[in-house]
């Protein structure tokens, strides 16, 4: 098979890497209190791929022959491991299904095209032989955007773009790079970095997600405050569709509407296969600085973020955790390095804050990022320091922020650790105007705790604000509980529905950056109106009348 990197079939990240609590002294007590989990309890026995009972591939000899003709025998796979890796994304539901050997339908074949001509050949075959195509990037989505419909009778082809991973052209005058859609985050930044450029898109899933996947899910990276989300970064694209190839030229702006670029963003494979994207790139900044702050309350932190968003400072990152996420963050700090509960208490900071009247259980940790020339960074930091002070916050310096920056891509491994010990954890995020954020937050926290009480489970819910815009921001909730072992998916559904319904009731969107998929599609009409769904379905039906492209996602049809 081609040398395309994939994650573990049963969890997050690369084989052999996992979360360890032994060097984090506060973690055992925290996870016991939050979820009732004993870190010393033996983990669930690892499953073998044979235990999944993967359904046999349904592919005629003729289709096998023609797929080989289209991309070469070395780039077509029928084995169980390849097909399982390409069945699900990484949502909690996906992982629980795998652990329950719940695999009603897997792709019948995985195909690795090496060029846009290969993609065209596979799509033309799909139209002629009535096959289904599901484009695959890194498989990191958490919205149920990948799995075939359970009752799909046609042959399902997973089209993995992983061989198409090159920066094709860099227009340095315009700051535009033409890039193949299958490139993973680190490979993209490495190719741009060699020439002194960056795209600046760093989702927490950066290491295992692709440019095409980001566009197809309307992704947002942690530095979106400066670089914009993928909708802003992507200027041009090429999309192989049943009727022809959609070409969106990389213009800085246009009044030609309705906008086809906007239609492809978030289309989750339903409007064709994105083969190339022309993205906005920037010279690597002279300085990159992330600073930590501590606020006396969530309300103070939120008010400060709002003021920063409308100030003359334009930080690259704005993030404040509520007190619950702050406690979680402190529990995962290593004993010996930088800022930790013990070192903070030891150096008297917390005692000083208590003397000043702080309730430390309410303290909220914040990270603000700055990028640019030295004078520019100093100027912006000065503005932010003033705003933080005005809202009662204090600066903690670079120490804790350096640690945050180093471990941000490791945090996802914690979920597998928890899953192995009878726990369930997932996230839901939304965006809403500033005026609605606090009531929305309060309602979500109350409603999740009510569900935990109804279910009789020990659970935790925490939140941070990030991705600030002029008119509002994203609230990102993480929920975790120890399930009863009998019906974890049913229990997860109760919590997830409570969160999502509260988002809609309180004026938020169903997701700020995780897309619709199948996980959020039941709230689509409430989010974009019934007429909005009619328009979206109309575009899908026009482009793909035969439902050959990832059917069932976004609109459930």
Span near ligand FAD by CB under 6 A; candidates 95-103, 268-276, 314-322, 350-358 = 268-276
Q: What is the closest distance, in whole angstroms, from the C-beta atom of residue 190 to ligand FAD in the complex?
A: 17
Neighbours of 333 (CB within 10 A): 23
Residue 11 binds to ligand FAD (criterion: CB under 6 A) = no
Q: Tell me: does residue 87 bind ligand FAD (CB under 6 A).
A: no
Q: Is residue 120 a contact residue for ligand FAD (CB under 6 A)? A: no
Q: Which residue is nearest to ligand FAD (CB)?
A: 213
**Using CB under 6 A, which of the segments 58-66, 134-142, 437-445, 523-531 binds ligand FAD?**
134-142
Closer CB to ligand FAD, 59 or 179, in the complex: 179
Q: Work out which of 513, 521, 543, 544 binds ligand FAD, going by CB under 6 A.
A: 513
Name residues whose C-beta falls within 8 Å of residue 55's C-beta, 6 or more positions apart in sequence.
103, 104, 105, 106
Q: Confirm or deny that 268 is annotated as ligand binding.
A: yes
Using rule CB under 6 A, residue 132 touches ligand FAD: no
Phi/psi of residue 65, each to 5°?
Answer: -60, -40
Measure the CA–CA gap between 546 and 525, rounded to whole angstroms. 23
Between 199 and 218, how does the x/- string for binding to ligand FAD read (CB under 6 A)?
----xxx---xx-xxx-xx-
The residues near 495 (Cβ < 8 Å, ≥ 6 apart) are 448, 451, 452, 459, 479, 481
How far is the CA of 431 from the CAs of 365, 384, 508, in angstroms?
20, 23, 5
What residues from 217 to 246 belong to the interface with ligand FAD (CB under 6 A)? 217, 219-220
Sequence-ordered strand ranges (E) for 154-272: 156-160, 167-171, 176-180, 197-198, 234-241, 244-248
The residue among 181 and 289 lying less far from ligand FAD, judged by its C-beta, is 181
Cα–Cα distance between 308 and 421 in angstroms, integer?
A: 41
3 state DSSP class of 103: coil
The torsion of the CA quartet 386, 388, 392, 394, rounded to 10 degrees, works out to -100
Residue whose CB is less far from ligand FAD, 215 or 363: 215
The residue from 11, 89, 301, 315 that contacts ligand FAD (CB under 6 A) is 89
115 appears as a binding residue in the annotation: no
295 is in an annotated binding site: no
Stretch that binds ligand FAD, among 59-67, 197-205, 383-391, 536-544 (CB under 6 A): 197-205
Does 208 count as an annotated binding residue? yes
274 is in an annotated binding site: yes
Q: Does 19 bind ligand FAD (CB under 6 A)?
A: no
Residue 106 is a binding residue for ligand FAD (CB under 6 A)? no
CB atoms inside a 10 Å sphere around CB 511: 25
- Token look-up 């780039």 returns 75
> Does residue 90 interact with ligand FAD by CB under 6 A?
yes
**500 contributes a contact to ligand FAD by CB under 6 A:** no
Catalytic-labelled residue, pool 88, 202, 227, 476: 476
Binder among 146, 290, 308, 461 for ligand FAD (CB under 6 A)? 146
Distance CA 392, CA 387 (A): 9
Contacts (Cβ under 8 Å, ≥6 apart) of 50: none
Rank residues 300 and 462 by Cβ distance to ligand FAD and give the closer one: 462
Contact with ligand FAD (CB under 6 A) among 140, 327, 482, 491: 140
At closest approach, how far in Å is the CB of 386 from ligand FAD? 29
- Quick check: is 476 catalytic? yes
Q: Report DSSP state, residue 274.
A: E
Told to check if 142 binds ligand FAD by CB under 6 A, we report yes
- Does residue 370 touch ligand FAD according to CB under 6 A? no
Owner of token pair 């060029």: 115
Secondary structure class of 474 (helix, strand, coil) = strand
Q: What is the C-alpha to C-alpha distance for residues 35 and 424, in angstroms, rounded to an integer?
A: 9
Cα within 13 Å of Cα(110), Cβ side:
26
Tell me whether residue 20 or residue 450 sits nearer to ligand FAD (CB atom).
Answer: 20
Q: Are 202 and 317 in contact (CB under 8 A)?
A: no
Secondary-structure percent of the chain, ordered helix, strand, coil, rounded to 5: 40, 20, 40
494 annotated as belonging to a binding site for a ligand: no
The residues carrying an active-site annotation are: 476
Residues that bind ligand FAD (CB under 6 A): 12, 89-90, 134-142, 145-146, 161, 181, 203-205, 209-210, 212-214, 216-217, 219-220, 268-269, 273-274, 412, 513-515, 550, 553
């Amino acid at each position: 098979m081609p040398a395309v990197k994939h994650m573990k079939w049963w969890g997050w990240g690369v084989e052999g890497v996992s979360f360890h609590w032994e060097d984090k002294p506060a973690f055992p007590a925290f996870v016991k209190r939050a979820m009732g989990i004993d870190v010393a309890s033996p983990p669930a026995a690892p499953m073998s791929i044979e235990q999944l009972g993967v359904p046999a591939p349904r592919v005629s000899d003729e289709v096998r022959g023609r797929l080989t003709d289209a991309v070469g025998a070395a780039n077509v796979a029928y084995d169980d491991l390849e097909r399982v890796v390409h069945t699900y994304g990484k949502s909690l539901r996906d992982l629980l299904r795998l652990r329950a050997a719940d695999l009603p339908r897997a792709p019948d074949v995985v195909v690795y095209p090496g060029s846009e001509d290969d993609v065209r050949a596979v799509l033309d075959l799909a139209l002629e032989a009535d096959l289904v195509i599901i484009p695959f990037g890194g498989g990191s989505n958490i919205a149920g955007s990948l799995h075939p419909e359970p009752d799909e009778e046609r042959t399902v082809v997973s089209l993995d773009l992983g061989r198409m991973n090159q920066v094709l052209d860099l227009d340095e005058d315009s700051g535009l790079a033409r890039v193949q859609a299958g490139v993973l985050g680190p490979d993209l930044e490495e190719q741009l970095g060699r020439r002194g450029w960056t795209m600046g898109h760093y989702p927490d899933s950066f290491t295992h997600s692709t440019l095409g996947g980001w566009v197809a899910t309307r992704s947002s990276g942690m530095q979106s405050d400066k670089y914009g989300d993928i909708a802003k970064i992507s200027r041009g694209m090429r999309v192989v569709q049943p009727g022809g190839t959609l070409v969106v030229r990389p213009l800085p702006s246009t009044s030609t509407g309705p906008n086809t670029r906007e239609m492809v963003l978030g289309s989750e494979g339903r409007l064709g296969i994105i083969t190339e994207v022309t993205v906005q790139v920037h010279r690597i900044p002279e300085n990159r600085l992330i600073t930590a702050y501590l606020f006396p309350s969530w309300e103070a932190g939120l008010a400060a973020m709002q003021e920063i968003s409308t100030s003359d400072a334009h930080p690259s990152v704005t993030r404040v955790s509520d007190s619950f996420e702050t406690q979680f963050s402190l529990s995962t700090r290593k004993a010996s390095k930088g800022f930790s509960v013990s070192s903070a208490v030891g150096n008297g900071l917390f005692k000083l804050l208590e003397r000043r009247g702080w309730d430390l259980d309410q303290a909220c940790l914040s990270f603000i990022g700055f990028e640019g020339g030295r004078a520019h960074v100093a100027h912006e930091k000065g503005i932010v320091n003033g705003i933080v002070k005005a809202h009662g916050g204090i600066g903690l310096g670079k120490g804790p922020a350096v640690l945050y920056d180093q471990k941000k891509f490791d945090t996802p491994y914690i979920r597998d650790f928890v899953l192995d010990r009878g726990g369930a954890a997932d996230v839901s995020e939304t965006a809403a105007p500033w005026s609605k954020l606090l009531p929305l937050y309060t309602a979500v926290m109350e409603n999740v705790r009510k569900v935990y009480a109804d279910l009789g489970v020990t659970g935790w819910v925490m939140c941070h604000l990030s991705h600030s815009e002029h008119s509002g921001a994203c609230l990102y909730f993480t929920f975790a509980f120890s399930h009863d072992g009998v019906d974890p998916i049913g229990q997860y559904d109760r919590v997830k529905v409570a969160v999502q319904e509260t988002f809609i009731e309180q004026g938020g969107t169903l997701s700020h950056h995780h897309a619709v998929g199948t996980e959020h599609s039941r709230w689509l009409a409430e989010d974009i109106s019934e007429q909005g769904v009619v328009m979206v379905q109309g575009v899908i039906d026009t482009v793909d009348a035969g439902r050959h492209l990832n059917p069932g996602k976004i609109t459930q049809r």
